[in-house]
Structure 1
């Protein structure tokens, strides 16, 4: 299973903003430079995370972004479910486009469905706080002082 780049980048934005000291704001420009992601693309992601209530955006000259709630309250599983739209791992997961002749007897879909549920069960155990527990190492890698 592969997550969209959009979801990957959203998690990176939350990790980056989560490692900032509480009184410091991050900017789309600095996140763009650290991760080599276009500012335009990041702008869309920040807008969505703001709409979801995960990021707070402060406008103006000294504006920027920060987590809208504690990192420990942002669940990774819920976030991935919200940002990803397609969990049809096989053709047969979508009844509308399924043309596989063995679908009625095939057990592969059950195994993959079970694996998908296990995937989310694991992600549900993590928060953004868990992703930044090695904050000092992350800050050094991201060039934060």
Structure 2
């Protein structure tokens, strides 16, 4: 159904190139919806990610900004018929242009050419899994040792 009926899945390996403007990578359309794909960019130290798209319906996609912050790269998202925008690794919107109605336009911006190394970009999901393990450990400890706390003595009132 949908795109899978027309397109074959590719190798899911981001192409990365070093340039005078930093380390660049390109993803298309909904690729940033897949955290593992974006993590490749974070682990490779990508500075600028280009994610071209043709949007329907138009709007700023929800996953792209998260991937930029998680992996520390500047995100430039040109669209054919949507909202073209650029944001830095701190999720600050640097500029946007709405092409919802198909008007031709060019967006000029100065963007950071050096990314930020993040813990998630370096190490991946280990912090999340460590948090899950600690919650399980503390929950088990509360069940085993939770009832052993001393209770305060009640005071009896005599008339």
Question: What range is the shorter-chain TM-score in?
Answer: under 0.3
Larger Rg belongs to: 2
TM-score by length of 1: 0.27
Q: Give the alignment's TM-score, normalised by structure 2.
A: 0.25
Higher helix share: 1
